[in-house]
Structure 1
């Protein structure tokens, strides 16, 4: 019986840890960082690769944990978040704070071992997400603009981890994920509008599910498409993209644009959800295309 209880307690703790750190979001960030790392390296370093993966997860996990501590009472008001560890009472605030602090130390230490500039960007990401973006979410729709900065760091962070420097290449990767943030989060904000309203969050640029918001989603989707193929023009230093890869990236972007236009035409929640899913598909696919294109050009 005692073994069964212990197993249940461990399973419950693992579940709460995954919820507190938002495991799926954290893993997607790690994926972006690894993609940037593979784009930037000349020689693969297994030690740096592992440190980046673990440090990246810890960094994002810490940001998410601090975020949930700050928004504990607001999370309790929303259907999709009321069962998180803090509002449900399955984890104390002190425990969550200890985990968040420990993850911050672990994450930044691992990134510092890779190189100091990587740790610096990791620290900036945590600070902006926790101290600026999170408080602004209940005050102004501009929070999405502020949140786009830490949200755009992972892809670029991998390149910085690989090269130890920030240049035009890292800047281009940053801009790709920066512009992508807007259609992604506005689609999410449109889809979960009622739930966000219960929590007092302002996510949409006009504050409403209207034509103004839909038009801005289309415009930022177009900007995302444009910046995603700029490396094919040969103006981004060592970050290159073949014409074939650029065409694939552009076609992938047209899928996202299709759903953005559908949302503008219909203004129905289901199209916002489809756009949000399409945006996740897009950023994941283009990162795979970028990395694949690099190594196909090297090998062939």
Structure 2
């Protein structure tokens, strides 16, 4: 029994649960904002099916990523524990697991959501698992910037699930995640630079050095702050969101400035973890603002 549970835990680890949870959360925000007011009973069923389908396909992409990068993961302290890197799960097991998850997610999205969401989700799978993992990540220090396009898609998937079409609001949320991705990952790469150097991946701190990377983090935090004001400026959100966006954004810029002026691995680690809370709280504020406006007006 314990051996069976251990095997299931290994499969579960392949799905990168924390990453997938954030993906589904951002997709859920896109779904909620696509519906004026509180969702109806049928809309709740669509939301549940869309979350399940997106989770399955995102988990499949994560498992495929672990399969492709098993030898790289084995050379990095941060990822050496993964079942594929340790040889606890074979490449065939990881591939079959990924294929089953992707197939199940595709069926859920096609049958209980809509075809547009299915194709967009599968395109995101290809963008992350193939274009980013196989091509961009090992070949260019701009891998995070270019590959971030697929990681920024969850709100678009959520919007498509509820509307059956794509709206400007969905793409604006996508833009915010796209601009958040580089400072988030480069903060990690700064204090894990030796890991990336051993792995052979051309991450920006390895190819261009710490000073240049820290400058990029600082610049991106300010550009991100400007982008997060757009929902308020176009009437997509209200004052509650604006206050949250300004407070969180200025805090992120402060981290970027300190990182640029007085670097330490501990500060880079704190910046990385703050960036995760930043995105979570920013989108939560967008959600709360949406329902507050519906309740007030």
**Aligned partner (choices 12, 21, 24) of residue 27 of structure 1:** 21
For residues 166-201 of structure 1, what are the alpha-carbon distances to aligned partners after superposition, in whole Å with 9 as ceiling and x for unaligned? 121111111011101111111111121111211111
Equivalent positions of 1:42-81 (< 5 A) are 42=36, 43-44=39-40, 45-81=43-79
Contact 1:206–1:212 at 8 Å: present in 2 too? no
The answer to whether the aligner puts 1:241 opposite 2:240 as a matched pair is no
Give the superposition deviation at 1:108. 2.1
Matching residue of 1:111? 109
Give the superposition deviation at 1:27. 1.1
Matching residue of 1:124? 123
Matching residue of 2:285? 289
Matching residue of 1:213? 213
Q: Distance in 1 between matches of 2:53 and 2:230?
A: 30
Give the superposition deviation at 1:205. 6.6
More deviation, 126-135/40-49: 40-49
5+ residue gaps, structure 2: none
Matching residue of 2:273? 277
**Aligned partner (choices 82, 85, 96) of residue 84 of structure 1:** 82
Give the superposition deviation at 1:20. 0.6
Give the superposition deviation at 1:109. 2.2
Contact 2:189–2:205 at 8 Å: present in 1 too? no
Q: Secondary structure at 2:103's aligned position in 1?
A: helix
Aligned residues: 290
Contact 2:190–2:205 at 8 Å: present in 1 too? no
Give the superposition deviation at 1:280. 0.6
Matching residue of 2:189? 189
TM-score (norm 2): 0.93
Q: Distance in 1 between matches of 2:188 and 2:206?
A: 14
Question: What stretches of structure 1 move > 6 A for 4+ residues in a row?
Answer: none
Q: Distance in 1 between matches of 2:263 and 2:106?
A: 42
Contact 2:159–2:167 at 8 Å: present in 1 too? no
Contact 1:255–1:278 at 8 Å: present in 2 too? no
Matching residue of 2:133? 134
Q: Distance in 2 between matches of 1:234 and 1:28?
A: 26
More deviation, 136-145/40-49: 40-49
TM-score (norm 1): 0.92
Give the superposition deviation at 1:60. 1.2
Bigger relative contact order, structure 1 or 2, given CA contacts below 8 A and separation 6+?
2
5+ residue gaps, structure 1: 1-5
